[in-house]
Structure 1
Amino acid sequence: MATRSLKMGLNDSLKMVTLLSAGKVLEMDADLKHNSLPSIESLTSVFTVTIRKALQKKRITTENEYYLVKEHLLTSDDELAEGDREVLYQYLEAFELAKSSK
């Protein structure tokens, strides 16, 4: 439970990074690198990887995937094809339905 909450908090923080100026992101990246921590790009790649996996599997299987995909869809206007966006919303709905029937 604590791990899931920590992951969700990290995901929320990473999404907020997208609202920062490019200069601030570069500054943060330099600070992360200076402290031998992963770059912002490598941290935010978890969203891309999770979405790609959900599309390949044709479903969302975990709560972590659910919240990552949902957060991404609600806060990003990225390069996702419109068809993929609609499919991901269907996967979210199917996950919610399956979760509520348990």
Structure 2
Amino acid sequence: MLLTYRYAPPHVQQAMAIAKGKQKQKLNELLNSLTQFIQKRQRENGLSFVSRTTLTPHQFDNLTTTVFRVVLANPLTTKEILQNILKEQKEIAILAPSLTKQIEATTQAILGEKL
């Protein structure tokens, strides 16, 4: 089984779902940068390896979208291993405060306009 995903907290996912035009493009680009940062840092840490790829999903207006890519074929892969990989990715995201602040600001601008 092939799984693609990216780090995006629920409120960021909500903003991405309702964003239009340049705001959607900006938030997508920021998330792409964060995904690349996390993947590179995770590879450098050497605890686990998750590759990345780009897609052009319809739900994101066919914008080039960088995602993590994992192949779940190893029978020795446990739920605990997968949870640890996600935990590590979340911890790495914190190490990119400039990006996460920009993502938060863009998210709040999008969600604020919705209100």
Fold shared per TM-score above 0.5: no
Larger % of helix: which?
1
The one of the two structures with greater contact order (alpha-carbon pairs below 8 A, sep at least 6) is: 2
TM-score, L = length of structure 1: 0.31
TM score, norm. by length of structure 2: 0.29
